[in-house]
Amino acid sequence: MADNHFSTGVGKIKFAALARPMKNKANPDKLEYTIKLDIDATTPDGMALKKHLASINPKKIVTTNLTGDRIVADGHFLVSFSTNRPPMVLDADGTKLTGADIPFFDGRVDTGEASAVYMVGDFEGKKYIRLVGVKIKEIVSAPREGSTSADKIAEMLKGI
């Protein structure tokens, strides 16, 4: 039996919901974990990924009609992976992250890079792609206006 797990290589994170699932836009009753990556299709790895994903589901690759934080550079494409089960998340050193250790990411103001592992399955003759894991290479979080640091909150709680 052939291996059905593949990796994306490193891409720019455009959106990530890895710590908690979010509602699926097409089916609000369905919760899913997701990551959207901006992949450089001008590299050999990017070209191979684009070709592989297109052979399974051409709708997976988005290059047109992108607005706001979804805009990608020329020669790049946007790809989204999701799952209804919590994916394995690793930091840049390969340490497994769980719960509150998984960083929050706001694609409008934060920047970061990650790679994803996805699986290709077959259900009743139809192929599907599912997120399995993410390795976060780097996340640079923008300051949050009006937010209070965890240390400050801990100090406040101690004083109660």
3-state secondary structure of 8: coil
- Judged against a pLDDT cut of 80, whether residue 18 lies above it is answered with yes
For residue 69, what pLDDT is reported? 57
Q: What are residue 46's phi and psi, to 5 degrees?
A: -65, -40
33-67 confidence digits (pLDDT tens): 999 999 999 999 999 999 999 899 888 877 655 65
| pLDDT tier for residue 137 given thresholds of 50, 70 and 90 | very high
CB of 50 within 8 A of CB of 61? yes
pTM of the model: 0.81
Half-sphere exposure of residue 156: CA atoms within 13 angstroms, side-chain side = 6
Q: Quick: pLDDT tens for 87-126.
A: 999 999 999 999 888 988 877 788 899 999 999 998 888 8
Work out the average pLDDT over 60-83: 75
pLDDT of residue 131: 95
Question: Which of 69, 79, 91 shows the shortest CA–CA distance to 18?
Answer: 91
- Judge whether 87 and 8 are in contact, CB under 8 Å: no
Question: What whole-number percentage of the chain has pLDDT above 70?
Answer: 88
Q: What is the mean pLDDT of residues 18-41?
A: 90
**Domains (range + CATH), the chain:** 5-158 (2.40.50.140)
Neighbours of 36 (CB within 10 A): 21
